[in-house]
Amino acid sequence: MVSMVHNHLLFIKTIDNMPKNIPINSKRVTIKDLAKELNTTTSTVSRALHGHGTISEGMKSKVMELAKKRNFSINRYAANLRSGSSKTIGVIVPRINRDFFSNCIAGIEEVTKGAGYSIHIAQSHDILSNEKEIIKSMIESNVCAILISIGLQTTEKSHLDQLSYYGIPFVFFDRAISESSYNRVLIDDFKGGYLATKHLLDMGYKNIAHFSGDQNLEIYQNRTKGYLAALEHHGIPFNDELISKQCLTSDCGEMSIERMMNLPNPPDALFSSSDYSALGALLFLKNEGVKVPEEFGIVGFSNESFTSLVSPPMTTVDQHSIEIGKNAAFACINILKNTNKVNTTSNIVIEPSLIIRETSNRFKTKHNRPNDI
Amino acid sequence: MVSMVHNHLLFIKTIDNMPKNIPINSKRVTIKDLAKELNTTTSTVSRALHGHGTISEGMKSKVMELAKKRNFSINRYAANLRSGSSKTIGVIVPRINRDFFSNCIAGIEEVTKGAGYSIHIAQSHDILSNEKEIIKSMIESNVCAILISIGLQTTEKSHLDQLSYYGIPFVFFDRAISESSYNRVLIDDFKGGYLATKHLLDMGYKNIAHFSGDQNLEIYQNRTKGYLAALEHHGIPFNDELISKQCLTSDCGEMSIERMMNLPNPPDALFSSSDYSALGALLFLKNEGVKVPEEFGIVGFSNESFTSLVSPPMTTVDQHSIEIGKNAAFACINILKNTNKVNTTSNIVIEPSLIIRETSNRFKTKHNRPNDI
DNA sequence: TTGAAAGCGCTAACAA
DNA sequence: TTGTTAGCGCTTTCAA
């Protein structure tokens, strides 16, 4: 009988009872076992398994063969304890189900794999206490380095200082602490915000609203700065009523745009620092019968895959997420290679691209093609 | 100078050079250090840190205080090597960026955390060799158990047999090997397929096409069986030309529906085992001017978040992903608790729910509300 | 090229 | 309640 979650959604249909998963080997084969069987020593077996040091071809193949035959599996804990290195890099993101972050991870995986490191993925769910726990656990597990995109709540950095204390290098990607003395791989968020806003102005929209995220995160600050700069370059004064600075979700997007549309002088366009809140606005406007892009232009940020699927397809800023991940991993591996040598800090900035789709293209100009799934 | 990825998408804007991340402590504090400083032994310190065994309150607080002061961090490798247990559960999914899987993981996280286990997340990208490598690495890292949703290519199970060999229990969730002798947490895919198809028939659609996935995966087989059963119950013969069995992507969905619409007797509805291929069909039909749901009904499968965002919002089958994750984790922890006791196999089946949105609702009946982001 | 020996940091049985 | 002792499985220095 298994324990079950009681829930109206659930229905336990069948519960079989039969013996299963009985350990066939209660004790794992160790290099000591292999050594004994081959009348040699553990050091020789260890050398043979790694091809390290000096080892005769004959002994090597004998060991390899027996290891296979006995289904030997190395004990990483023992190896890492002894060698002092885990060959593991920790990766921390707010959430794994955002296309942006999962693409970063894909890039990281590719590079770290090539360099012989494995990764440990963890998500903070944007909760600071989770982030702290994850870092604590990663220190305990002796990760060689950490790649991190911080959570929305991360205003203090004591847990990151811990990493420095333990000599564990870390590289921020995308969401970073605002200090260039850290290793960071960012996109040029200012430029992203500028391009997006300028594009709306070029399309003839006049009164451009803006959603952004918590301004203690540099990325949102910079997207907002880009927005303001574009307005300024066009000689348009900004209107505080048209800015919503804690608006990253679909729900918030709906509410914010509803409020703004009821202003005496409502906006005719929106640049949002988040695809999700841009989507909320789009859904609200469609529901109200406001025509997008004819009467209202929208540009989001991140190129989440749904942006190409909604109707009309949404203009957005692509962050080259895979490249961000690759660069962060490269920077990290470089640091690991150069430990004890000259320490350098890398601040890599990647250029964003505006992907023009239909929500902003009121003249139906042909632009670059939307991305498909 | 840091290494960089050369790519036309990239632009390395700034590269600072300044010393950073110099290890402050080249040597970590161990329990031995703490013991020496307190004039006691490592065993006492160990006991104090865990609250295990017998320890005086005075000694305990003295140890805790010093540990904090010296910024002590336990070495998990040493602890696990000695104790023989990692208190870690491996989680393997095809891809982390599917809402379905990330929700499963959220459910798993919740339950395992409560039980004192941490998880290691890995994605196979639906590639068998990756899956094998991940399992190998997890065996080496001595995970206590594995929760796995197998990849599309996983037709043989030698790597899973390895787990049994090493006595590592594993639980399948959603995508499983078709043998009830394994621990599995599934949804009733047959019922999901049946409900979806019956709903389309109830809505008056007559000629229902079907997309599914590789039939060596039981889940797709069963969704297809549900589809066929619903047709049969309505006395409708199935038409092989209206079934596409390797159709899980948006691209494939577009191509398949295009082919079918050119048949002498084209379909007027679609039940797809994948939201993605359903989406491809929807995009194609909209583009062709076919009215959904008036002229063509569509039901997808999985309740991916984009299904509520597309226009019109898509009817789909929800799999209660969080519940699946929770149940899989519960089953797993139960097995771990009962090691050496009676071994039971759990086959838990969760009921799917049809979420009726607009792509199938040609009479504009009020149904349950679509999910929001 | 191989072996001997030490020990990574911790836990846990046993003794005091 | 605390200390003694052994050793988890591996790597690595040094010696042969």
Could you check whether the bond before residue A264 is cis, i.e. omega within 30 degrees of 0? no
Question: Contacts of residue B26 in chain A, CB cutoff 8 Å?
Answer: 167
Looking at residue A339, its pLDDT comes to 65
Structural contact between residues A253 and A279, judged by C-beta atoms closer than 8 angstroms:
yes
- Distance of C1' in D10 from CA in A314, Å: 56
Specify the pairing of strand A315-318 against strand A353-355. Answer: antiparallel
Structural contact between residues A131 and A154, judged by C-beta atoms closer than 8 angstroms:
yes
- CA distance linking residue B240 with residue B227, whole number of Å: 12
pLDDT at residue B146 is higher than 90: yes
Residue B145's H or E segment, with its range, is strand B145-148
- CA distance linking residue A307 with residue A316, whole number of Å: 7
Residue type, B172: F
- CA distance linking residue B203 with residue A242, whole number of Å: 44
Residue A277's H or E segment, with its range, is helix A275-287
pLDDT at residue B3 is higher than 50: no
Question: Contacts of residue B137 in chain A, CB cutoff 8 Å?
Answer: 76, 118
- Give the residue from B75, B370, B37, B12 showing the smallest Cα distance to A141: B75
Binning chain B into helix, strand and coil, the percentages to the nearest 5 are 40, 15, 45
- CA distance linking residue B199 with residue B230, whole number of Å: 9
Residues 6+ away with beta carbon under 8 Å from A127 = A151, A153
CATH number of A86-186+321-348: 3.40.50.2300
Tell me the three state secondary structure of residue B317.
Answer: strand
Looking at residue B14, its pLDDT comes to 33
pLDDT at residue B343 is higher than 80: no
Question: Contacts of residue B166 in chain A, CB cutoff 8 Å?
Answer: 23, 25, 28, 73
A84 nearest nucleotide via C1' and CA:
C8
Token pair for B130: 């990756």
> DSSP E strands: which ranges in chain A?
88-93, 118-123, 145-148, 170-173, 183-187, 208-211, 243-244, 269-272, 297-301, 315-318, 347-350, 353-355
Residue type, A42: T
Structural contact between residues B4 and B11, judged by C-beta atoms closer than 8 angstroms:
no
Token pair for A105: 């991870």
Mean pLDDT for the stretch of residues B259-277: 97
Check CB contact under 8 Å for B20 and A309: no
Looking at residue B337, its pLDDT comes to 87
Distance between B255 CA and the closest CA of chain A, angstroms: 14
* Residues 291-320 in A contacting B (C-alpha not used; CB under 8 Å): 305-306, 309-311, 320
- Widest pairwise Cα distance in chain A: 90
- Give B309's pLDDT tier (boundaries 50, 70, 90): confident
Instruction: Kindly report the pTM of this predicted structure.
Output: 0.89
Residues 6+ away with beta carbon under 8 Å from B13 = A188, A347, A348, A349, A351
Q: Is the dihedral of CA B165, B142, B104, B310 positive or negative?
A: negative
Number of Cβ within a 10 Å radius of residue B205: 24
Could you check whether the bond before residue B370 is cis, i.e. omega within 30 degrees of 0? no
Using a CB–CB cutoff of 8 Å, tell me whether A283 touches chain B.
yes
The DSSP output letter for B212 is: -
> DSSP E strands: which ranges in B32-80?
none
> A323 — phi, psi (to 5°)?
-65, -40
Check CB contact under 8 Å for A18 and B345: yes
Q: Could you tell me if residue A175 is left (phi over 0), alpha (psi between -120 and 50 degrees) or otherwise beta?
A: beta
* Residues 189-248 in B contacting A (C-alpha not used; CB under 8 Å): none
The DSSP output letter for A185 is: E
Judged on CB neighbours under 10 Å (0-12, 13-18, 19+), B27 is exposed
Check CB contact under 8 Å for B251 and A372: yes
Check CB contact under 8 Å for A81 and B78: yes
Nearest CA in chain A to B92: A121
User: Cα torsion for A122, A128, A134, A138, to the nearest 10°?
Assistant: 110
Specify the pairing of strand B347-350 against strand B183-187. Answer: parallel
- Distance of C1' in C8 from CA in A129, Å: 31
B79 nearest nucleotide via C1' and CA:
C10
Looking at residue B339, its pLDDT comes to 65
Question: Contacts of residue A330 in chain B, CB cutoff 8 Å?
Answer: 2-5
Looking at residue B363, its pLDDT comes to 83
- Give the residue from A135, A168, A138 showing the smallest Cα distance to B26: A168
- CA distance linking residue A126 with residue A246, whole number of Å: 14
Tell me the three state secondary structure of residue A351.
Answer: coil
Nearest CA in chain B to A99: B97
- CA distance linking residue A9 with residue A65, whole number of Å: 52
Nearest CA in chain B to A5: B327
Q: Where in chain B is the domain with CATH 3.40.50.2300?
A: 86-186+321-348, 189-320+354-372
Structural contact between residues A17 and B346, judged by C-beta atoms closer than 8 angstroms:
no
Distance between A14 CA and the closest CA of chain B, angstroms: 6
* Residues 103-122 in B contacting A (C-alpha not used; CB under 8 Å): 103, 105, 118, 120-122
- Give B107's pLDDT tier (boundaries 50, 70, 90): very high
Order of strands, edge to edge, in the sheet holding B208-211? B243-244, B208-211, B269-272, B297-299
Residue % of chain B over a pLDDT of 90: 76
Judged on CB neighbours under 10 Å (0-12, 13-18, 19+), A184 is buried
* Strand C close residues, chain B 41-60, CB < 7 angstroms: 41-43, 46, 49-50, 52
Residues 6+ away with beta carbon under 8 Å from A337 = none
Structural contact between residues A189 and A174, judged by C-beta atoms closer than 8 angstroms:
no
Fold of the domain spanning B2-82 = 434 Repressor (Amino-terminal Domain) (1.10.260)
Check CB contact under 8 Å for B77 and A73: no
- CA distance linking residue B158 with residue B181, whole number of Å: 16
Residue-wise pLDDT for B113-122, tens only, equals 999 999 999 9
* Strand C close residues, chain B 127-166, CB < 7 angstroms: none
Across the interface, of A121, A182, A348, the residue whose CB is closest to B4 is: A348
> A105 — phi, psi (to 5°)?
-65, -40
- Distance of C1' in C10 from CA in A23, Å: 26
Using a CB–CB cutoff of 8 Å, tell me whether B10 touches chain A.
yes
Residue B92's H or E segment, with its range, is strand B88-93
- pLDDT tens for chain A, 373 residues long, are 333 333 333 444 333 332 333 334 457 899 999 999 999 999 999 999 998 768 889 999 999 999 999 999 999 999 999 999 999 999 999 999 899 999 999 999 999 999 999 999 999 999 999 999 999 999 999 999 999 999 999 988 999 999 999 999 999 999 999 888 899 999 999 999 999 999 999 999 999 999 999 988 999 999 999 999 999 999 999 999 999 999 999 999 999 999 999 999 999 999 999 999 999 999 999 989 999 999 999 999 999 988 988 888 999 999 999 999 999 999 999 999 886 555 678 899 999 999 999 999 988 765 554 443 3
pLDDT at residue B74 is higher than 80: yes
pLDDT at residue B267 is higher than 70: yes
pLDDT at residue B20 is higher than 70: no
Using a CB–CB cutoff of 8 Å, tell me whether B6 touches chain A.
no
- Give B298's pLDDT tier (boundaries 50, 70, 90): very high
C-alpha to C-alpha distances, B363 to B204, B267, B286, nearest whole angstrom: 10, 19, 19
Residue-wise pLDDT for B200-240, tens only, equals 999 999 999 999 999 889 999 999 999 999 999 999 999 99
- Give B318's pLDDT tier (boundaries 50, 70, 90): very high
Using a CB–CB cutoff of 8 Å, tell me whether B340 touches chain A.
no
CATH number of A189-320+354-372: 3.40.50.2300
- Widest pairwise Cα distance in chain B: 90
- Give the residue from A257, A247, A260, A270 showing the smallest Cα distance to A197: A270
Q: Where in chain A is the domain with CATH 1.10.260.40?
A: 2-82
